[in-house]
Structure 1
Amino acid sequence: MYTHILFPTDGSDPAESVLEYALQIASEHEATIHVLNVADTGRDSLTTIRGKVIDVLEEEGQEIVDEAAQRARARDVAVVSEVLQGDPYRTIVDYSEQSDIDCIVMPTHGRRGIQRFLLGSVTERVINTAAVPVIAVNPDRDRPLAYPSQRVLVPTDGSRGAELALTEGIDVARATGATLHLLHVVETGNLGPDARSALKENELTGRANEIMAEAAETVEEASVEAVTSVIEHGEPSNVIRNYIDENEIELAILGTHGQTDFSRYVMGGVSAKLVRTSPVPVMWVREPGSDVTPDS
């Protein structure tokens, strides 16, 4: 399923804890893991004594990737290590394209909690621009990480982004034997008590049934037998988190764009809440051509 997996790292404790998960994925799929450290040479603080600072950053980066590569080899995982200069998120995305990466695994934050992989900075930008799935892992989770996952959740809203997430979920389920959980959330938080709101809720519920039937048909055609389909009502991010907890989900897969009220998967909305608070890794699958251009 995956042949080349990219693991960007800054050598922090959060990143190191996520490395183990990346190695589990690589080992399961007999993939090569690419360990990348980016010497951030775009910061204003490097304008003075620039050469010496860059040399130090690259030396530190080499130590970081060498240590990670050693851990990979100890698990008999093929590894490629690289230290590059540049803007972190752009360098990560460019490397993924140039190296035929199939999947990127990275923490939601890294060194000192705010310096390198802060959500809203590098991880968010990679999710918004990478052409391959990105698995964002919260290093502050309470649960141990486990791959291959036995229970995989795909929230769906019938959008193109959700279709791509479902395709990825089907591939994961077929490759690992996981049970696939399909979830649609009818967002009722903005509905009032009047008759018009009742009619609106009925319309949303009817559409939810159509969406779930279409998703279930797609899964059936893919010959995935272990499937659970659920329609819930409420605020999407809360419903998804609760479903993850109550059903012992180990991996969630979502599209980053959609069309219905539920699918506000642009950063700052439902997706940002999920990435920050999810107790399990979240794989983001971006709809081609749906770039959200980050600020430089």
Structure 2
Amino acid sequence: MYERILIPTDGSPSAEAAARHGSLIAEAFEASVHIISVVNEQARGDRLAKAQAQDAISTLEDLFAQESDLSCQSVIERGRPYEAILSYAAETDIDLVVMGTHGRRGLSRALLGSVTERVIRLSNDPVLAVPPHAMGRERDGYERVLIPTDGSPAATAAVDHGLAIAEQVGATVRVLYVIEGETGLPPFGDSLRDEAVEVLEAVAKRASEREITLTTHVQPGTPHEVINNFVSAHGTDLVAMGTHGRSGLRRHILGSVTERVLRTSDAPVLTVRQDTE
């Protein structure tokens, strides 16, 4: 599924955290790694900006050389960071982009870095967004993968990616369906409950074909809150979800549930578009 993985870097701790998670997935899929650093076209002091970009790349090259046998290619581009990342990904047939949620400027926990957000919104490829506090969580590998789903096309696409990663790394999977707006679970026989069961059974069937250990869960409440609480309660290592739920939305706008999970999740979040192959 993943043959070429792109890791953008600006030299921040968040970028290094992303690189470590990217390394884990690259090794599992025997993928090649591409490292990109972008000199912002609006940057003052071109020589200094290029030196910083090279330092950022060298840091990740050293990391991969010391901790893996992965094949790496590196490039420095100039332009708007998100545009350069998307352009490079398209030109080199990248299968997965792995990047930190916060750049060198930091930002508070509840905010998503603007470059990462734009890449997620516009990318044709899956994007794994890694928060800074996820550094170190990859050391024991991915043991527990969470796949929230509402049965929408984007969520279904995310199921494929979540199951593929779980299969490669030997992780167990929990699949979560949130019945929004309910304070308690509707009884069996209720249309909402029956729909949830139908969606989860379809995922369970696909997991059984891959011989993946899977459990299904139905919970009521506000989706992003239930998802994040579930991540914390079960020690989740990776969340795989679609960029849009059943409400659809235009390509350039993230689904509200996905956006809120991205901004607050303790675990890396793999976002997948409906049209991702």
* TM-score band, normalised by shorter chain: 0.7 to 0.9
Paired position in structure 2 for 1:40 = 40
**After superposition, where does 1:222-233 map in structure 2 within 5 Å?**
222-233=209-220
Amino acid at match of 1:279: D
Asked if the contact 2:244–2:255 (Cα under 8 Å) also holds between the matched residues in 1, the reply is no
> Rg larger in 1 or in 2?
1
Amino acid at match of 1:37: S
**After superposition, where does 1:1-296 map in structure 2 within 5 Å?**
1-41=1-41, 43=42, 53-75=45-67, 76-114=69-107, 119=112, 121-141=114-134, 144-146=137-139, 148-188=141-181, 202-220=190-208, 222-259=209-246, 266-267=253-254, 269-288=256-275
Q: Look up the SS of the partner of 1:140 in the other structure.
A: helix
Asked if the contact 1:161–1:286 (Cα under 8 Å) also holds between the matched residues in 2, the reply is yes
Q: TM-score normalized by structure 2?
A: 0.87
Distance 1:138 1:120 in 2: 10
Q: How far has the Cα of 1:113 moved from its partner?
A: 0.8
Q: How far has the Cα of 1:284 moved from its partner?
A: 0.3
Q: How far has the Cα of 1:224 moved from its partner?
A: 2.8
Distance 1:260 1:214 in 2: 21
Residue 81 to residue 269, structure 1, CA distance change in 2 (3 Å): same
Relative to structure 2, which stretch is displaced further, 247-256 or 72-81? 72-81
Asked if the contact 2:126–2:273 (Cα under 8 Å) also holds between the matched residues in 1, the reply is yes
Paired position in structure 2 for 1:292 = none
Distance 2:23 2:70 in 1: 7
Uncovered stretches (5+) of structure 1, i.e. residues with no partner: 47-52, 290-296
Q: How far has the Cα of 1:147 moved from its partner?
A: 6.2
Q: How far has the Cα of 1:152 moved from its partner?
A: 0.8
Aligned length: 268
Residue 17 to residue 168, structure 1, CA distance change in 2 (3 Å): closer
Distance 2:159 2:137 in 1: 25
Q: How far has the Cα of 1:202 moved from its partner?
A: 3.5
Q: Residue by residue, what CA displacement relative to the aligned partner does 1:77-127 show, whole Å, maximum 9, x if unpaired?
A: 21111100011111111111111211111011110214xxx7251111111
Q: Look up the SS of the partner of 1:267 in the other structure.
A: coil
Residue 142 to residue 57, structure 1, CA distance change in 2 (3 Å): closer
Q: How far has the Cα of 1:255 moved from its partner?
A: 0.6
Q: TM-score normalized by structure 1?
A: 0.82
Q: Residue by residue, what CA displacement relative to the aligned partner does 1:166-204 show, whole Å, maximum 9, x if unpaired?
A: 111121122122112111000125x8x9xxxx89x9332
Distance 1:140 1:267 in 2: 23
Amino acid at match of 2:51: E
Sequence identity (%): 35
Asked if the contact 1:143–1:279 (Cα under 8 Å) also holds between the matched residues in 2, the reply is no
CA RMSD of aligned residues (A): 2.7
